Chain A
Amino acid sequence: MKSAVVQLPGLNRDRDMIAALTKISGRAPITVWQTETEIPDVDLIVIPGGFSYGDYLRCGAIAARMPVMQAIKEKADRGVKVLGVCNGFQILVEAGMLPGALMRNSSLKFVCKEVKLEVVNAETDFTRAYEKGQVIRCPVAHHDGNYFVDSKLLSSLEDNGQVVFRYAEGTNPNGSLSDIAGVMNRSGNVLGMMPHPENLIEAAHGGSDGRGIFASALDVVAATA
């Protein structure tokens, strides 16, 4: 399975993501620069975290309008898996590839800590390595992760199994509606999540609960490091 990591100015967890994908799949991902209009043939495109273009405007708003996003959209429409983590999630939302909005944390502060995630839907391309209802550890590090959708859309997301992760055990760090931590599109090939599974994949991280997401998406065995 081949993967690609999108690099935009201001993204800063691209190196973490490249390291995680390399360690888990055994091969380094291709990198894609902001101006590229064609993306090579890959099975998974990842938009990592950071502060694209400084996030001085609404988070992800500028990135969502860069040429590379059109190319990603086209790939997604053809069924290629797309994962957006943190700023990547915000960008996917701003690009209209995922429903809802990510508002400022309810604390109005940046928060970096470990939370618990419940795997709400384990029958997705990104969560097959987990069991439904399994609670995993995962760190978060963001300023704008407070997920919101209107009530009608919320029920449809829930009915369609599009809510993939929820903050569990009272660890919601940002005030997200219905404790939502990660959602996917209707067809199930685009996932956005605020937590950073790439920072919990090996012994040095103090655990490898995050590995399953990449192992599922890359179709490799989710062995612990």
Chain B
Amino acid sequence: MNPADPTVPDPTVPDLPATGLTVTGLTVTGLTVSRGGIPVLEGIGFTLAPGRALVLRGPNGIGKTTLLRTLAGLQPPLAGAVSVPAEAIAYSGHADGLKATLTVAENLGFWAAIHGTGGPGAALEAMNLAALRDRPAGALSAGQKRRLGLARLLVSGRPVWMLDEPTVSLDAASVGLFERAVRAHLAGGGSALIATHVELGIAGAEVLDLAPFKARPPAAGGRGHPFDEAFA
């Protein structure tokens, strides 16, 4: 990992509204995550400084989603520590959490109210959804839904973004909007952890390949798991 100098300002960062972020670095040490009680990744350790992005790579099924869900506090790790509380993390999974019968503005306004941040206006602008604000979310295209799901991150006001395949079904222009939003987030002192298979134009993004952390079965020298021992 040899990231570009993060002190070089990104000239394309637009003036997005300040979200009142507290600067927090994320440190993960010796993390073992499991799916259905079976370890899938073990001994993960990395540091994510404020203003930086980390791209997670690895083949399908390696455990990228499991890792992100564990970090977001949706499931407990088998071992290891995460330096940042789950309250600092905005998680965006495969599903966008949209209600088909609510309008775009109502969907986003709900999450803004839940997170106690301002109205959805600025986030709608940033994701180019302002013209669609009164349309029911059920009538949006897949890419528009995805943009609405990503706009939720902007209203969450949380410093660490955890994004699981954020660019699925986005066109090139929308990917550009997304990259701009991430850059603005990083410039504001936030950080982002992104699991993706595509190249994102985010300056200074480090890459973490998860393949070396794949959990080994106990027979191969892995650390095993109480479940296996109980049924051995």
Decide whether A and B are members of one complex. no
Binding site for A on B (CB under 8 A): none
Binding site for B on A (CB under 8 A): none
